[in-house]
Structure 1
Amino acid sequence: MNISLRFFKYLPTLIFAFSAILAFGQGTSVQENRDVMLRGEVQDQFSGEPLEFVAISVFREMDSLLLTGVISDVDGRFEIELQAGAYFLAFNFIGYQEQIVPGIELLDGEKERDLGIITLSEATTLLDEVEVVGERTQMELKLDKRVYNIGKDVSNTGGSASDVLDNLPSIQVDIEGNVSLRGSEGVRILIDGKPSGLLGGADALRQIPSDMIESVEVVTNPSARYEAEGEVGIINIILKKDKRKGFNGSFGLTTGWPENFGANYGLNFRRKSVNFFSNFGINYRDSPGGGTTYQRAEQDGEVLIFDSEQTRSRAGLNGNIQLGTDFFLNDRNTLTTSVLLKISDGQNDTKYIYRDLNEAGEVLQLTDRLTDEMERSYDFEGALNYRKTFEDEDRLWTVDFKYILTDDTELSDYVQTSDTTETVLNQRSSNTEDEVNYFFQTDYAHPLWENSIAEMGARFSSRRIDNEFLVEEQNSLGDWNVYPGLDNYMIYTENILATYLIFGSDLGAFSYQLGVRAEYSDITTELVKTKEVNPREYLNFFPSVHLTYELDEANQLQLSYSRRINRPRFRHLLPFYSFGDNRNIFAGNPDLNPEFTQSFETGYLHFFDRGSFLTSLYYRYRTDIIERILIPTEDGGSLRLPINLATQHAFGLEGNVSYDFFPWWRNNVNFNFYRAITAGNYEGQDLSADAYTWSGRWNANFKLPGEVGLQMAFDYRAPTRNTQGKDLARYTLDAGVTRDILKGNGTLIFSVRDLFNTRRWNNITDVENFYREQTFQWRSRQFLLTFNYRLNRKKRETDLFKGEGGGEE
């Protein structure tokens, strides 16, 4: 059985079960010679999900004497050895009604009895001891992933998916919206285990409301079941979905400063064999930010120095709606259909002030550059899922099909003036991108013998992206002319066929899982106007191994290995320049190769009286690593370009400690120590580096009088060296207060994100004949007030102590 980190959530259940066991140990009449094995499985009555940590108590039929008790495991299963006789069982789980199973008569000579599936229904009333104010992220440790159940983390309420990720251990989101895990950006992001229309567009994560998210799975060493994409693993965002009978749901309203207004709902209605569900969110948010740059470059004996200030406002209206239906054809077959529509309309205004300086610091020229950008995107997704179960509960067949359309348009106007000339420079750019993405996947799991299972599956995915980019400049006559080299049309096609096979077995204290995945990739980039075609075709195998050993109920060891691939992102292949800051530009590289990673990880989990401790030691060996480097340009500016370097050895130690000083004060500390040794060069420039860094995060939850909850979260990222410089330290503090109202149906939340306004990115680049210091703040301190209302959905213990968020591009 996998031990999860959900100790405190189930504390009342554990106490109840332990009391039953203690009662048995103090003189009951059951004899030690037990020869009948009684087993079964506990599930939620409406969702069919297995229930872990259910307390199962055994009573003697004749006098209702409590004899013994056990707890269901992670799959909801239980086993009890009893002597022949007449019994009844009581099933208790916090937030659910007690279920009594009477009339169990075990016969002499009987070896085993299977009770089948026992279902529990939710309680209609709420016990006083489970009305805990405030919630936080709760982590479950599974064989090949960690699951963060997302609840009402008040410090992040009213945000987006990017904030959710940025607030999880070992995950970072930088100023450009790039997500990194354990120091690497080679991570694959999925929605419900698959590509999604919600991930379309440049600001995709920033446009997904946190209220839509149920949980986040972080798979640092994925098994062969998962697609091989993602050098350091997979981040899988699970959306909320309810299958309880009747009509229920939740509504939310958010307001804040800087401007932040939002509304959302999640509803479902189930009647007999049909369940209708819908999720909706709309949000308007303005994100003022900015930064500074100091740059010094030497070109042919001439020193070029400038500093700049940037102020920006990124405002936008984002909306999405999902409609779906579950058809429960019978007890064994379920068909689910859904459609999703996402619309985004953004207005981004940026002002740059450049001051060209001499070596004495005197201003030689003052230049203003204004950018006015309109960004609009439409995303559509249609999905179909079929699920078939069998009499053997471990046997399962699923089929998935998904079709995604994305249409994204960016139109920008640039106006540049200088104090040394009366000429006004007018430029404009357009970038239109259309994507068609569909995939088919089928998975099958089949038990072979006791506690052993085989899994197999196949997947085909196909993408086509059409991107047209154009920059024009106005001449003195008012005519618009194409800017040299910035006019092209790129077509990207990607077809991937994959199959996998996994075998796993549970041998008691020791369990293992062995797998292999084969992926055939056919990828082509074509620059239509210049007639440049770059086809890539390769077949790769990706083995995986996962081992788990339970020393005892409080200690567990894990060991895993996997091989991964990190294909270049589409935007890293685009050879077109960014054009907002024309002194610091970015361009893609269509000649990028995929990088490969071999990953090893070992973990140790320990429970103690007031908490738990989890630590992981990991090592990654990477080849052809993709790194963004800076290249000085002849005019004193810079070009950032992704390239392939040679190799990297990465080592890390990650830990998580949960500890309760008092019942009203709960704490969680996460830390990650990381070292990366990189070797490589580019055009004669040595880009080798030996980087050390660490990060830590502290979360505290306080239960105050008057049903008030207080949460605080402090995050620190230590300085980090890279191939051409270093990122400086960054720290921030978030805080929030929450209170339940309207008899527990409503919740008011007030939160402050970045309380001391210190969430800034600071970077130094220092290479031969070039030095630059940069600081940037994506969004200033935020104040948010949120109201949530639950319709026919009482707040229960299984929803408590979780976390949620939202975020930055």
Structure 2
Amino acid sequence: MYPEFNGNYAASIITYMQKLYVFSFLLLFSLPLMVRSQIIGSVSGTVTDLKSKAPLEFVNVVLKSQSDHTVKGHEVTGADGSYTFKSIPEGSYYIQASYIGYDDTRTVLFVINSQYKNSRQHIALDNSKSTLKEVSINSKKAVYVNSIDKKVYHVDQDIMAKSGSASEVLQNVPLVQVDIDGNVSLRNSAVTILINGKISPLMGKNAAAVLQQLPANSIERIEVITNPSAKYKPDGTGGIINIILKKDVKRGLNGTVTGNAGNRERYNAGTSLNYNTGKFNLFGSYSAKQDDRLRTTVNQRLQTDQVTHLQSTYSDFLTAKTRPFSQIASLGFDYTIDPKNSLGLSGNFYQRNLYKDDLTNKRVTSTSGNQVYDRFRKNLEQEKSTSGAFYFEHGFSKEEHKIRLEVNLAHSPETEDNRYTNVFSVPAIADQKDNTLILQTADTRQITLSYENPLSEQIKLEAGYDGQFNTHDMDFSGEAFNQTTQQFIPDIQKTNHFIYNEHVQAVYGTYTQAFQKITMMLGLRGEYSAVNSGLITTGESIPNHYFKVYPTLHFSYKLRENKELQLNYSRRVRRPEADELNPFAEYADPTNIRVGNPRLLPEIINSVEAGYQWRKNGISLMPGIYYRYTMNRFTAITEALNDSVLVTRQQNLANDRAFGADVVIGVNLQDKLVINFTPNIFYNEIDASNLGYSNKKSTVTWTANLNASYSLGLLTALQLNSTYKSARLTPQGRYLPSYVLNLGAKRDVLNKKGSVYLTVSDLFKTQRQEADLQGPYLVQHVKTVSNSRIFYLGFSYSFGVVKKKKDMQFDNGG
């Protein structure tokens, strides 16, 4: 069993959190006695044609909150053009209606309160261009909104989303960082990425590659959850990023096609289709991307022998040319059996083929002799992932009272074939060759059962079971070239087999209660983990079984309609992945080896966050402060194996403390100029005394994200995005600052059904990753730069056909 917190400081933090948690429960059950019930009302009306006054059927009618423009309800009009929204809490709202062939229209603002419990809103739709000019400006929604447990970024307001990938759009999301390799972090800490609220096999080991392929225009919104509630898996130091994909709800046949062409023979294209009969909804999508990447890495190090104190110098210059082709396809359906029961089945397929040519110029000056040679690498990678998901949902008589069963299965094989050749200049010896074949297979099985019950208009209970059963098989085969026989023979040192099994079973419960001005969500999640690292090559097995409890607390207090305070707490975990545990080395570079650590402990994180939200006249402020205490934080430690080889592996720090503050500043000037600016500053202190470093290290780090867009009339918009990251701390050194600037422009055409856009990422070619390592026997500097300045010219077109009523009927017969 893994150790828990130790030390007086950590114990005091836990004791304080326990007292806060108990107090919150007592407060939760006492406040209902002191506050009155929330006012509930309704709104109804009809939708007609402006000119003929005839009722319109199958119109999409959306109820939205005036404060943050979030959707509070969705209806489709009947044959008489009528619609009704029931059980609406007190507040200010408006209704937006959309229909194929007509211009989107929204109502004036209306209120639901003790005086006006019921509202009637008649909507007249017009298909003339003059009406479009009147309402299109009003329909623009906020890019970034905040709720009790999450922050939401609306991707459809981002021009970069038209041609870019999910990875590129994530760079625009406040609090999120994306490095040169596409790895995503949240507040400079590890993050768990979900797809539609669920763990996805695509977001495993190669999540960065998948995010670079996933088309951004398939994403509806991105939810940033820094302190997730207990219903979410508690993995990730920084929290969760939940990517919500688009799902068209309009009836009939609707779809979108996109195409983009970039510099250096980069192309991507995609399409999504949706056919909705009312009871049966069929959906599918396909996208393909041809990429081109050129990367250079300079690695210089000075190594001192611990016994003789003689020094050796090493210089590597790597040029890597990569051309990946990837494709993603999905197909599924939802079927409404009756008003209380529905089910769905869907499947996803992902494939990525990558061709890579590397050339490393190596120069070595050491006591054992000088070497100058070129190391060539020919690499072919093939990766696939096939997954399927099934759900069944039953609704009870009470609205939003439901139970849902979900089953997800995934199979992800991967092949990596490496061919190496060393061509020597000094000394003048024959060429050396070696090969490595890596076969990996990941199998994921997940079953979840969730239950939701609104006990009253102010109280909601959620509970469930979440079981995840994962297996990762890693089989490495190495070959060395025999100069005598001129044949390849097995290399025992580079041949190994590792199997990692992880079973995590959890039960959770959350309790939410809303009062007049106060909303509180309390949660508790218990998890039993059974982990086994199987070193098949050596016949060794390292099991680990443990049970842990993860409490959560979310508290909000509404001072006024436009002002709100928030306080959140969660206990989280970051579990090591299979490649971080695999002790067998991968010899891509024999002088710089990376190995896993099968005895790596999971990180345990306690996170507290307080925030404030203020909105008025198009300006919003969302400042927040946060504190994280991490036990057993992962860190990469590099050590000398001998006078020519370095070994890097993950180790556990004793502890890590981070205290930070950030603010999301939003400005909307008459829907023409929209600015979101997010500076973040935090103090980080690490204790690596358990690894032989006597002194604690601390630093102050800051990041800033600027996202601005400007509308030139009704059809044209410009966008600028910029991100800066200052130096970041490691036990042996630091990462140097980095900066990037992106631009985009969009022009709507074909009555706003189509769009033409131009984007450029990393305009000034400043994106890079640079690190310094300082130690008593090792000094190293590594700098990586890629061809990240990418131009894209693209086009997208949306189409749709609304079926007549007789075509909308669904036959239940066989």
> Structure 1's 192 and 248: CA in aligned 2 closer, same or farther, altered over 3 A?
same
Whether the 8 Å CA contact 2:160–2:168 is kept in 1: the answer is: no
Alignment pair present for 1:53 and 2:66: yes
Whether the 8 Å CA contact 1:137–1:153 is kept in 2: the answer is: no
Give the alignment partner of residue 148 of structure 1, picking from 150, 153, 156: 153
Give the alignment partner of residue 355 of structure 1, picking from 352, 358, 363: 363
Whether the 8 Å CA contact 1:133–1:739 is kept in 2: the answer is: no
Whether the 8 Å CA contact 1:38–1:113 is kept in 2: the answer is: no
After superposition, residues 492-571 of structure 1 pair within 5 angstroms as 492-571=500-579
Report the equivalent of 1:19: none
C-alpha displacement of 1:253: 0.3
Whether the 8 Å CA contact 1:648–1:677 is kept in 2: the answer is: yes
Report the equivalent of 2:272: 266
Alignment pair present for 1:402 and 2:408: yes
After superposition, residues 102-113 of structure 1 pair within 5 angstroms as none
Alignment pair present for 1:346 and 2:354: yes
Report the equivalent of 1:738: 746
C-alpha displacement of 1:120: 8.8
Give the alignment partner of residue 233 of structure 2, picking from 227, 235, 238: 227
Aligned equivalents of 2:137, 2:767: Cα separation in 1: 31
C-alpha displacement of 1:629: 1.6
Q: Structure 1 residues 405-414 or 575-584, which shifts more?
A: 575-584
Give the alignment partner of residue 655 of structure 2, picking from 647, 653, 659: 647
CA deviation vs aligned residue, 1:428-468 (integer Å, no higher than 9, x gap): 11111112211111111112234112111111111111110
Report the equivalent of 1:430: 437
Report the equivalent of 2:199: 195
Alignment pair present for 1:245 and 2:235: no
Aligned equivalents of 1:465, 1:96: Cα separation in 2: 49
Report the equivalent of 1:386: 392
Aligned equivalents of 1:485, 1:134: Cα separation in 2: 64
Amino acid at match of 1:40: S
> Structure 1's 587 and 379: CA in aligned 2 closer, same or farther, altered over 3 A?
same
Report the equivalent of 2:805: none
> Structure 1's 145 and 397: CA in aligned 2 closer, same or farther, altered over 3 A?
same
Aligned equivalents of 1:133, 1:757: Cα separation in 2: 37
Whether the 8 Å CA contact 2:163–2:759 is kept in 1: the answer is: no
Alignment pair present for 1:631 and 2:639: yes
C-alpha displacement of 1:690: 0.8
Report the equivalent of 2:79: none
CA deviation vs aligned residue, 1:42-69 (integer Å, no higher than 9, x gap): 899788976333999xxxxxxxxxxxxx
> Structure 1's 775 and 601: CA in aligned 2 closer, same or farther, altered over 3 A?
same
* RMSD between superposed Cα atoms in Å: 3.3
Aligned equivalents of 1:42, 1:531: Cα separation in 2: 70
Long gaps (5+) in structure 1: 1-34, 57-71, 82-88, 101-110, 795-809
> Structure 1's 769 and 48: CA in aligned 2 closer, same or farther, altered over 3 A?
farther
Give the alignment partner of residue 374 of structure 2, picking from 368, 375, 380: 368
Report the 3-state secondary structure (helix = DSSP H, G, I; strand = E; otherwise coil) of the residue aligned with 2:446: strand
Report the equivalent of 1:676: 684
> Structure 1's 142 and 395: CA in aligned 2 closer, same or farther, altered over 3 A?
same
> Structure 1's 130 and 706: CA in aligned 2 closer, same or farther, altered over 3 A?
closer
Whether the 8 Å CA contact 2:294–2:322 is kept in 1: the answer is: yes
Amino acid at match of 1:77: I
Alignment pair present for 1:173 and 2:178: yes
Report the equivalent of 2:614: 606
Amino acid at match of 1:444: Y
Aligned equivalents of 1:116, 1:436: Cα separation in 2: 53
Amino acid at match of 2:596: G
C-alpha displacement of 1:147: 1.6
Report the 3-state secondary structure (helix = DSSP H, G, I; strand = E; otherwise coil) of the residue aligned with 1:39: strand
> Structure 1's 152 and 555: CA in aligned 2 closer, same or farther, altered over 3 A?
closer
Aligned equivalents of 2:192, 2:44: Cα separation in 1: 34
CA deviation vs aligned residue, 1:205-229 (integer Å, no higher than 9, x gap): 2232223222211110011111122
Report the equivalent of 1:617: 625
Aligned equivalents of 1:200, 1:554: Cα separation in 2: 40
C-alpha displacement of 1:489: 1.1
Whether the 8 Å CA contact 1:668–1:698 is kept in 2: the answer is: yes
Amino acid at match of 2:584: F
Report the equivalent of 1:798: none
Alignment pair present for 1:326 and 2:326: no
Alignment pair present for 1:77 and 2:85: no
> Structure 1's 156 and 309: CA in aligned 2 closer, same or farther, altered over 3 A?
farther
> Structure 1's 76 and 768: CA in aligned 2 closer, same or farther, altered over 3 A?
farther
Q: Greater relative contact order (Cα 8 A, min sep 6): structure 1 or 2?
A: 1
Aligned equivalents of 2:126, 2:395: Cα separation in 1: 27
Amino acid at match of 2:349: L
Give the alignment partner of residue 168 of structure 2, picking from 163, 168, 185: 163
Long gaps (5+) in structure 2: 1-36, 48-57, 70-83, 109-113, 803-814
Report the 3-state secondary structure (helix = DSSP H, G, I; strand = E; otherwise coil) of the residue aligned with 2:338: coil
Give the alignment partner of residue 470 of structure 1, picking from 473, 477, 490: 477
CA deviation vs aligned residue, 1:545-572 (integer Å, no higher than 9, x gap): 1100011012100001111111111111
C-alpha displacement of 1:735: 0.7
CA deviation vs aligned residue, 1:116-152 (integer Å, no higher than 9, x gap): 9999999866621454699998222121111212126
Aligned equivalents of 2:447, 2:532: Cα separation in 1: 21
Amino acid at match of 1:519: E
Report the equivalent of 1:128: 133
Report the 3-state secondary structure (helix = DSSP H, G, I; strand = E; otherwise coil) of the residue aligned with 1:577: coil
Whether the 8 Å CA contact 2:507–2:527 is kept in 1: the answer is: yes
Whether the 8 Å CA contact 2:148–2:556 is kept in 1: the answer is: yes
C-alpha displacement of 1:170: 2.1
Report the equivalent of 1:313: 321
Report the equivalent of 2:309: 301
Give the alignment partner of residue 573 of structure 1, picking from 575, 578, 581: 581
C-alpha displacement of 1:661: 5.4
Q: How many residues align?
A: 723
Report the 3-state secondary structure (helix = DSSP H, G, I; strand = E; otherwise coil) of the residue aligned with 2:174: coil
Report the 3-state secondary structure (helix = DSSP H, G, I; strand = E; otherwise coil) of the residue aligned with 2:398: coil
Alignment pair present for 1:449 and 2:456: yes
Amino acid at match of 1:230: G
Report the equivalent of 1:218: 224
Aligned equivalents of 1:631, 1:145: Cα separation in 2: 41
The TM-score with structure 1 as length reference comes to 0.83
Amino acid at match of 1:470: S
Report the 3-state secondary structure (helix = DSSP H, G, I; strand = E; otherwise coil) of the residue aligned with 2:212: helix
Whether the 8 Å CA contact 1:157–1:784 is kept in 2: the answer is: no
Aligned equivalents of 1:551, 1:617: Cα separation in 2: 19
Alignment identity in percent? Answer: 27
Whether the 8 Å CA contact 1:156–1:753 is kept in 2: the answer is: no
C-alpha displacement of 1:766: 0.8
Report the 3-state secondary structure (helix = DSSP H, G, I; strand = E; otherwise coil) of the residue aligned with 2:588: coil
